[in-house]
Structure 1
Amino acid sequence: MFGLFNKTQQPTTQKFDLWKGNAIVTDEICPDRRGRVKFRGSWWFAQCVTGINVSPGVRVNVIGRNEMTLLVEMPKTMDL
């Protein structure tokens, strides 16, 4: 009735794609502590999966999420 009970599920790949994209580091990310990034217009805690320091202003790839912390990595190729 009026579409209230028709639950349409998003495909699993689309759910995971919500947490992928580019972000800009705003507070340094260190191996032993989280930093912050700006991702899709909001600021999030972030942790680098490779355990390296990432300075503010660096563009990173968001590859997932662990609760309220985004998981990021350095881009595979650098744009020149």
Structure 2
Amino acid sequence: MLKDRPQTQSTMEFVSIDELVPADHLLRKIDKVIDFSFIHDLVKDLYCADNGRPALDPTLLFKLLFIGYVFGVRSERQLIREV
């Protein structure tokens, strides 16, 4: 038997990361002070251009590990969950 269900979601909600992270957050301050673009230049010769799967951005990987170090997250799995 079919029943009429009440509508559970009436409108869409859009969330911006900029709205979720406070302006005075430590990571925003670090991002303003440190330019991480040098990492790509250091490791570009270690990646193959025409073989294997596309790699994740090495700058992103370094930033993840840096965040884990700053906030004392010892597990990479926990770090990914928290990020």
Q: Normalised by the size of structure 2, how large is the TM-score?
A: 0.23
Tell me which of the two structures has the higher relative contact order, counting C-alpha pairs closer than 8 angstroms and 6 or more residues apart: 1
Query: Which structure: greater helix fraction?
Result: 2
Larger-Rg structure: 2
